[in-house]
Structure 1
Amino acid sequence: MFYAILAYHAEGVVESWTPDEDAALMDDLLKVHDRLVREGRMGPAARLGPTVDARTLRGPGAGTVLDGPFAETKEQLLGLYVVDCADDEAAAEMARQLRGANPTAVYEIRPIALYIPGAPLSP
């Protein structure tokens, strides 16, 4: 089963890092990423752009595009991973490994399904 692991962090903290601090964190995360890729368990991963550039589509019909993510938490979604795990516990363990490299981040873990209810993604 595929799971999405969503990486949350206080955006101001991430933006305050020096280029060297950011590079050091990315080096630690890439060690985890590279191992998971070698194991064939890592799908796409991305660091998202700043929330000031985020837009939200909402409303009836074609909807309206509004500025901002309108998050109601102190952390913002800054990136995501798509990983292949046997079950919920395996996905949680993978998130723990990522958190080991980035201990101040929050990771949300969600199973991924197609829009058709109950139809799982297949590898």
Structure 2
Amino acid sequence: MKYLALVYYQESIINAMTEKEWHDLNQKCIQCVAGLAEAGHFIAGQALQPVETATTVRVRNGETLISDGPFAETKEQLAGFYLLEARDLNEAIQLAEKIPPAQLGSIEVRPIRDLPPPD
């Protein structure tokens, strides 16, 4: 079964890091991906640009509304994602525990919902 592991952390924590701390965190993430891939659990993943680069799109009554920034103000911002293959939620949680930013913020684990075939 596929699970999406959404990585959240406070960008203020990241912004306060030294260049070396930021580099080391990124290297840990790269090593994590390599380990997950080697074990057959990693499907895809990407890091996201900072939240100030986000654009939110809504369509209401046929009108497109665009606003800068994320949909909601939160303490933690979405920083990236890992698409994982796991037997069940318990295994997905065990895999998410290994994602390095879990030590700084949180990892939201959600099962992927398959859409029905087209009519």
Give the superposition deviation at 1:71.
Answer: 2.3
Once the two structures are TM-superposed, the CA of residue 62 in structure 1 deviates from its matched residue by 5.1
Say if 2:106 is the partner of 1:110. Answer: no
Structure 1 length as normaliser, TM-score? 0.84
Aligned residues: 115
Q: CA deviation at 1:26?
A: 1.7
Residue 33 of structure 1, CA deviation: 1.3
Per the alignment, in what secondary structure is the counterpart of residue 49 of structure 1? coil
Task: Flag the structure with higher strand content.
Answer: 2
Q: CA RMSD in A?
A: 1.6
**What displacement does 1:70 show?**
3.5
Which structure 1 segments of 5+ residues have no match?
Answer: none
Using the alignment, how far apart are the partners of 2:95 and 2:63 within structure 1? 38
Displacement after TM superposition at 1:114 (Å): 3.1
- The answer for the alignment partner of 1:71 in structure 2 is 72
Point out where structure 2 has 5 or more consecutive residues left out of the alignment: none
State the one-letter code of the partner of 1:71: A
SS in 1 for 2:98: helix
State the distance in 2 between where 1:58 and 1:78 align. Answer: 21
Q: Give the stretch that moved more between structures: 8-17 or 62-71.
A: 62-71
